[in-house]
Every structure is written in C-alpha cells, then in structure tokens.
Amino acid sequence: MKQSTINALRDILGEGDLKTNEKMSAHTSFRVGGEADAFITPRSDDQIVECIKVLRNEKERYFIMGNGTNLLVSDEGYRGCVIQLFKNYGEVSVFGNNITAKAGAPLMRICNEAAKRGLSGLEFACGIPGTLGGAVTMNAGAYGAEMVKVVRIVRVLDLKYMMKSEYAASEMNFSYRHSLVKEEPLIVLEVEMELMKGDEEVIRRRMDDFKAQRAAKQPIDVPSAGSTFKRPEGHYAGKLIEDAGLKGKRLGGAQISDKHAGFIINANNASAKDILRLMIDTQKTVFEKFHVKLEPEICFLGWK
C-alpha cells in the first residue's frame, strides 16, 4: 500500500487506530491468516466514510470485518486495507423496548444488556460470537430464531452513492443466512431492534440453557469459525459429514470436530490452506456420497 494512503488514513484516524502489516491471525477466531497491508479501527460514521473515500481515491482495496468469527484469511494475507468495525464502534443504547446499537457491538454484550433491562427476544443469540453488523448481514440464527425476528431498522452506508440511508426490516430481503447486504454494496452501520418485555430471571435462565446446549454439542473451546457450511435444504450439514465417515478427519493441523461434524477446527497450528483443503475435500466426499452440495457459511479473504 502506498505511503501516501497510509498517511492520509492516519490523518483521519490518529496513530492508535491504524496498524500496518498486521497479522490477521490475531483478529480471526480460526487464529490463522497472514498480514494485511493496513488494519484500521474507525470510531464514527464520518471516519468510516472518509477512510473509504481515501482508499477509493488511491485505488486501494478494502474489506469490512467485525470480530473475525466467520472469516478465513489466506496465509498470504490481504493486499489492501481491512476496516474493522468492532470495539471502537460498538455503542449500545436502550429506549423502552428498543435497543439501538452500532454494527461493531458484540451480540453477547447486546444480549446481556437486554436481559438486564428485562427485554426478551434475543436469547437465541446469546452464544453467537459475532458482532451485530455481521449477524444482520448473515441473518444469523440459532434454536429456531433469526435476527429477522427482532430487527426493526437497519442504517447503512450505501457504497454506490457514499450516502447513509436506512431500511425497514421488511425491505432487507432477509432469508436463511442472507440479507440485502449480500446483494447490494451496503455496510451496516447501526441497527434498531424491537424486543418484548419479560422477566430478567426467566430471560437469563433461557440464555444459560442455550449456552449449556451449545457447550455440550459444539467445540467452543478450540479455534473455529462456527458452522463451516450452510444447512442444505432438507438436510443438516453436520449429519451429512458424519454419515460420510468424515467426523474427526484431519488434514495438516485442521480437523473436522469429533464433537460436531459441522465444525472444522484449528486443532494443531493449522494453516489457512489446511482448513481450505479440508473444506474442499469434505464438499467433494459429501457430494459423491449423497449428491448434496455443501455451501460455505464462512467468508474468505485474500485468496486468489
């Protein structure tokens, strides 16, 4: 990346919110990934807009990420700028039954805030490790519920016109692991959610139950990116993989979890290439045995 670009970004952000040659393994739940040329953590809508304008003017590539819980970065890294909307961009506020939060707010933090205020409807999300922006982009869900059930308004940056706008939930084209953000050049900036009045003790019991179920069934104590593949229509990815005899299979340091076959984990200093090879091998085997195509649920960065 050109030094002129680095200098311009630093002028906008200050010294502390810009890093160069940053190892992405420090920012992904897989704990893999090479260096990004630049890694920035904006604190406001205006900083996001100004940084993107600089990158476009300088013809530099950029990628928007949350806290990296659904991302596989190549071992070669990313020749461009990673814009992380996470800790510096995570304000949460509550008014009545509504919670409004910036895209970088972790779902767990929002769930805890809802419980503290006696607001019900987000309990299903209490174990999802990602940020609100990522959860809305993917219409994240668990235990029979999805973000579409609670989202009221989504405020975005439209990259086509470099203008901020907002969409009602009904305009977001929500479906399984999909939203309008996957179709159009939009960045989620802020989300308003509408919840229901409830009892804090009951809400926390439900959250604790979901957490216990997740801990019992999923390999949450080892590096992974959650469910590796989307649920194929009429099937469950984990069951297909297990029925194909792949549970526990290893390639290099990557392994199909022997606790839940729907998860590929970094079992022993895996490389990103190990994980990708195991994903491809799994897709091939499942298709050969069951004629079902497994689609990745995780996102990819820096691959040629």
Domain boundaries defined on the chain: 3-87, 90-216, 219-301
Ordered alpha helix ranges (H), 155-271: 200-217, 237-243
Q: Which of 130, 227, 132 is nearest to 181 (CA)?
A: 132
Q: Specify which residues 194 forms β-bridges with.
A: 98
**Sign of the CA dihedral with 233 first, then 239, 240, and 246 last:** positive
> Which listed residue (177, 204, 214, 277) is catalytic?
177
Torsional sign, CA 95, 96, 98, 104? positive
Instruction: For residue 146, indicate whether it is catalytic.
Output: no
Q: What class has domain 219-301?
A: alpha beta
Produce one character per residue of 258-293: b if its CB has 16 or more CB atoms within 10 Å, e if not: ebbbbbbbbbeebbbbbbbebbeebbebbeeeeeee
**What is the pLDDT, as a whole number, of residue 304?**
84
* CA distance linking residue 283 with residue 279, whole number of Å: 6
Please state, as a whole number, how many other Cβ atoms lie within 10 Å of the Cβ of residue 19.
17
Question: CA torsion sign, 154 to 149 to 111 to 137?
Answer: negative
Q: What is the pLDDT of residue 127?
A: 87
Residues of the chain with pLDDT under 50: none
The model's pLDDT over 89-107, given as tens digits with 9 standing for 90+, comes to 999 999 999 999 999 999 9
Express each pLDDT in 36-66 by its tens digit.
999 999 999 999 999 999 999 999 999 999 9
Q: Do 106 and 118 touch, CB atoms closer than 8 A?
A: no
Closest CA to 262 of 240, 233, 289: 240
pLDDT tens-digit map of 194-232 = 999 999 999 999 999 999 999 999 999 999 999 999 999
Catalytic residue among 35, 123, 190, 297: 297
What is the dihedral angle through the alpha carbons of 124, 107, 297, 285, rounded to the nearest 10 degrees?
-60
In this structure, which topology does domain 90-216 adopt according to CATH?
Answer: 3.30.465
3-87 and 219-301: identical CATH topology? no
**pTM of the full predicted structure?**
0.94
Catalytic pick among 29, 224, 227, 257: 227
Task: Estimate the share of the chain in helix, then strand, then coil, as percent rounded to the nearest 5.
Answer: 35, 30, 40
Q: Cβ(77)–Cβ(35) under 8 Å?
A: yes
Topology, domain 3-87: 3.30.43
Told to judge if 177 belongs to the known catalytic residues of this protein, a careful annotator would answer yes
